[in-house]
Structure 1
Amino acid sequence: MSNKTFAEVLQDLRYGTLHDELTETLQEVVNACISTGKGGSLTLQIKLKPGKSGELELTDTIKSTVPELEKGASIMWATPEGNLQRQDPRQMTIDGLKSIGKEDYQQLKKV
């Protein structure tokens, strides 16, 4: 009698749903590592508990560390009323200057 491989057992656990979850989680970690340039991890823990009639109860735990992109900060100014705004209320305005939006900025980056 040949031994059943770990991969075969893995595909049997929870009727194959564990294998599906591991596949999805691995893809999530791989994609995040590629997009962030940072490392990640995937850990599978399988616990085996013997029963009284020769059976084994297997429980699994999946843990992953998915790297995240660094988030930028926003700079805002408080008004005397306690509101936040992007322009410094103490800064004087100069006529003729144009404020650019995100689309304008993206166009400038391409040049």
Structure 2
Amino acid sequence: MRPITDVLREYRRGRAVDLASQRLSELIMAVDETNKAGEITIKIKVKPQKGGGSEKTLHIDVKSKIPELELPEAVFFSDAEGNLHRSDPAQAELTFRDASKPQPQQGAG
């Protein structure tokens, strides 16, 4: 029995095995980055020659389901014009001063 890997290497001068190898590498990196599962599917369709005989036409399809990073939620505030801001535009901003530095004296009188 001939190994399937030999057929994959011969299909279109190795394009199927090259593509599968590339997708596997991308999958491994994405799984490492997201800590989520993914998969690769290699589908081989075999069609017989019209009228029978030993000739077969192959179609190989390599599909991958790469896990994606999910961005965490973020809080924004809207203004009257429909714009979004990181701080609430309706809230007055607090001003702070450095308590370790001397402050100007108010005039006595």
Q: Same fold (TM over 0.5)?
A: yes
Partner of 1:33: 31
Equivalence map 1:18-97=2 (5 Å) = 18-52=16-50, 54-96=54-96
**Structure 2, unpaired ranges of 5+:** 98-109
Aligned Cα RMSD in Å? Answer: 1.6
**Structure 1, unpaired ranges of 5+:** 98-111
Q: How many residues matched?
A: 95
- Higher helix proportion: 1
Identical amino acids, percent of aligned pairs: 35
What TM-score results when the alignment is normalised by the length of structure 2?
0.78
CA distance in 2, matches of 1:8, 1:70: 39
Q: Which structure carries more relative contact order (alpha carbon 8 Å, separation 6+)?
A: 2
> Could you list the runs of 4 or more consecutive aligned residues of structure 1 that deviate by over 3 angstroms after TM superposition?
none
